Amino acid sequence: MLKNNLKITHFALIMSCLNFLFFHFPFFSFVFDNVDYKSFGGIILIISLIVLMLVLNAFVFYLLFSLSRRVGKFLLILFFIINAIAVYFVNTYGVIIDETMIGNVLNTKYEEASSFFSIRLVAEIILFGVIPSVYIFKAKITKVPLKKFLITVSLTLLFILTLVFANASNWLWIDKNSKTLGGLAMPWSYTVNISLFYKHQFSKNQKEILLPNATIKDNQKSVVVLVIGESARSQNFSLYGYKKNTNPLLSKMPDVYHFEANSCATYTTAGVKCILEHANTDDLYEILPNYLYRNNVEVIWRTSNWGEPPVHIKNYQKREEILPKCEGDECNYDEALLKGLNEQILASKKNKILIVLHTSTSHGPTYSKKYPPQFENFKPVCNSVELGKCSQTELINAYDNTIVYTDYILSKVIEDLKQLKEYKSAMIFVSDHGESLGEKNLYMHGIPISIAPKEQYEIPFIVWMSEGSKQLKPNTTVSQNHVFHSVLNFLNIQSTIYNEEMNIFK
């Protein structure tokens, strides 16, 4: 076939068929799971979607190669390779390549991305990406006369419109499931959503909206340590009734309380933004650390993670900046964020201090590498990045061990704060979002919040206060936005933006 010249029409159809066979099993698995495929209407919908998928992709490929065969080949090769990667993650982790997932991908650092590497990933890239790309590169394609091009385009558009209007009765179902269908259609899931992501990024406020000035109302030395968890779901904390003892230390500590809470989103950037802002909005308002720093509060940010909104403070420290002063095996894990923290607090010349510790303890898929060996309380554990290959028991054991390690870190923060006798102190732990561990065949996080399972948005919200500092309101349920107003209350900072209803303290 390579030796003969191929008509663009034939080549576009061949490429569309290969694209359909290689990359659309997840798409049609979703369709079969959500329509009555035994009914006449269901059969018509499925046949129409198959035909529409083949014709639409062939039509776009035809346009690309008619305009420029070189550009067409380059884009098609790129599509096949990226499709192979995307479908691997869809099949392995149950993700949907929507705009929020694109945001996750574009905010992923090399360290996190490399943890997903597997032999199967490489094999699928070669089989479904590289090998078809060789064929595409070597294919000899003939030009199309302008008249024939215009006739083909016109007839194809007419056919597509006829098919779309013939399925008018199914528009409601398609609209209802449009985000999922769009997130599984290759290559349009990522091409369209990358465009949407950058469009929305560009339209956001280029400069954060400043909040009204605040006033510090007393000279009492006070410190709040805000620990932002990563991918921690409340149902695996024994404090929330989990049958396995994942909180052996916190459960024995006095003055430790927990609230029911849901995250604003199922991915880090939006979850962290929600924790740090005064209200859940799409605008870029001044976040808590920036606001307090601007109003003469000592703010220290230590992180082993990423994805936060822009932080404008003096003491912003990444984990690698702390490591030179850290000794011991624990420095390879999130415990490194605690090294020298009390000394830094005591060295401050200000009476009001906010510490933010942005951890990465429960981030998958390499759960078993997120904690020191002595915290492997539950065995056997999953050591593979291909989570679907592990048993449910192995996967949950590895994840539960990250919660045990989180329990240790939080207890250590509390013990350190107890040493600061001159300070009224509080520790608030809240996760950015939850995590799926194979339930409904989903893994990790990132499903749109409107359709996400509870595992991805039910999060822990844990509070400790030093003796005689504050008491809690009898709230049972809170939100991530409660953090902003509760910190202002604890540090006794007055502001017109303050909302008493969003404060957890009496």
Rounded CA separation 60/41 (Å): 28
| Residues shown for the chain | 506
Rounded CA separation 63/51 (Å): 18
How would residue 109 be classed by pLDDT, with cut points 50, 70 and 90?
low
Q: Longest C-alpha distance within the chain, in Å?
A: 86
Say if CB 348 and CB 355 are below 8 A apart: no
Say if CB 387 and CB 115 are below 8 A apart: no
Tell me the two tokens of residue 198: 């950058």
State the DSSP H helix or E strand holding residue 304, giving kind and residue range, or none if neither: none
pLDDT of the residue at 376: 95
Angle between helices 131-138 and 69-93 (to 10 degrees): 170
Q: Which residues contact 136 (CB under 8 A, 6 or more apart)?
A: 15, 73, 76, 77, 80
Q: Does pTM top 0.75 for this prediction?
A: no
Rounded CA separation 109/86 (Å): 17
154 CB burial (10 A radius; 0-12, 13-18, 19+): exposed
What three-state secondary structure class fits 384?
coil
Angle at 9 between CA 3 and CA 12, to 5 degrees: 80
Tell me the two tokens of residue 503: 């404060």
Q: Which residues contact 178 (CB under 8 A, 6 or more apart)?
A: none
- Per-residue pLDDT tens over the stretch 23-77: 988 888 888 888 877 778 778 888 888 888 888 888 888 888 888 888 888 999 9
Mean pLDDT of 127-151: 86
Rounded CA separation 467/119 (Å): 53
State the DSSP H helix or E strand holding residue 30, giving kind and residue range, or none if neither: helix 25-34
Residue 4: CB atoms within 10 Å:
9
Compute φ and ψ for 478, nearest 5 degrees. Answer: -135, 175
Residue 128 has pLDDT above 60, yes or no: yes
Mean pLDDT of 148-163: 85
**Higher-pLDDT residue of 67, 395:** 395
- Per-residue pLDDT tens over the stretch 429-483: 999 999 999 888 888 888 888 888 999 999 999 999 999 888 999 888 999 999 9
Rounded CA separation 279/480 (Å): 9
- Mean pLDDT, the chain, integer: 88
3-state helix, strand, coil in the chain (%, to 5): 55, 15, 35
- Per-residue pLDDT tens over the stretch 267-296: 888 999 999 999 998 888 999 999 999 999
Which one, of 117, 202, 174, lies nearest residue 385 by Cα? Answer: 117
Mean pLDDT of 307-315: 89
> What structural domains does the chain harbor?
6-203 (no CATH), 221-502 (3.40.720.10)
pLDDT of the residue at 389: 79
pLDDT of the residue at 203: 54
pLDDT of the residue at 103: 73
Angle between helices 40-67 and 8-23 (to 10 degrees): 130
**What is the residue-wise DSSP string for 408-429?**
HHHHHHHHHHHT-TTSEEEEEE
- Number of helices and strands (H, E) in the chain? 18, 14
pLDDT of the residue at 1: 46
Mean pLDDT of 169-177: 68
